[in-house]
Amino acid sequence: MTFSRKAAKKNKLHSKAGVTLTELLIGMTISAAVLGGTISLFLMGSTTAANGMGRLLINRDIRNFTNEMIENARYADYFKTYTSFSDRT
């Protein structure tokens, strides 16, 4: 009877001593899934930020161009507005 108790204690010590291959594979799979999700979220955020930056740059260029046109029209001696492209002669 005492021998079986010692054997049971010994088995408990050995069962807590390390990680089995199955536990390691499950842990690695879960870690890979979490890491993959994190990377995809990062890439999506980076793409969204790059698109937003491009739109901001385009808006800035259009604003600068229209401001320059306004300044040129304001200080011009003669300014004519054409009704269409065809009758510019």
> What are the start-end ranges of the H helices in the chain?
2-15, 21-75
pLDDT score for 80: 72
> For the range 5-12, what are the long-range contacts, defined as Cβ-Cβ under 8 Å and sequence gap of 24 or more?
none
- 67, exposed or middle or buried, with CB in 10 Å at 0-12, 13-18, 19+? exposed
Q: Is the residue at 35 inside a domain?
A: yes
Claim: this prediction has a pTM higher than 0.75: no
CA geometry: angle 46, 47, 52, nearest 5 deg: 100
Q: What is the pLDDT along the chain (89 residues), one digit of tens a residue?
A: 556 666 666 666 555 668 899 999 999 999 999 999 999 999 999 999 999 999 999 999 999 999 999 998 888 877 677 777 776 66
Domain ranges, residue 68? 19-74
Number of domains comprising the chain: 1
* Block residue for tokens 């306004």: 70
